[in-house]
Amino acid sequence: MKETIHCQKLNKIGNKLSSPPYATDLGRQIQQTICEEAWQQWQQYQTMLINEYRLNLLDKTSHEFLEAEMKKFLLKIPAQ
């Protein structure tokens, strides 16, 4: 049976991510506060952003943009 958490994004109980999506404090925060369903929503939205903005994933600026968008989408943290 999967461990459940109260998902900050969806405001409901959902399955916890089995591991942090990133080996950082942000990844651990996401694992502790975001459910699998919300993470899947982010992955779909991220794909749309990559395609719409024609992001180069080898470019540091593209990674910074996606991280800022992820924080807004999942954690409701405004861009700085």
Terminal-residue alpha carbon distance, the chain: 39
On whether residue 80 sits in a domain, the answer given is no
70 and 77 Cβ atoms separated by less than 8 Å: no
On whether residue 51 sits in a domain, the answer given is yes
CATH number of the domain residue 49 falls in: 1.10.3880.10
Tell me, what's the pLDDT at 79? Answer: 63
Give the domain range for residue 53: 4-75
**pTM for the model:** 0.92
Residue 1 in this model has a pLDDT that exceeds 90: no
Domain count, the chain: 1
User: Model confidence over 16-51: pLDDT tens digits?
Assistant: 999 999 999 999 999 999 999 999 999 999 999 999
Tell me, what's the pLDDT at 67? Answer: 95
The percent helix, strand, coil of the chain (3-state, each to 5) is 50, 10, 35
Write the burial class of residue 16 (CB in 10 Å: 0-12 exposed, 13-18 middle, 19+ buried).
Answer: middle
Q: How many CA atoms lie within 13 A of 45 on its CB side?
A: 14
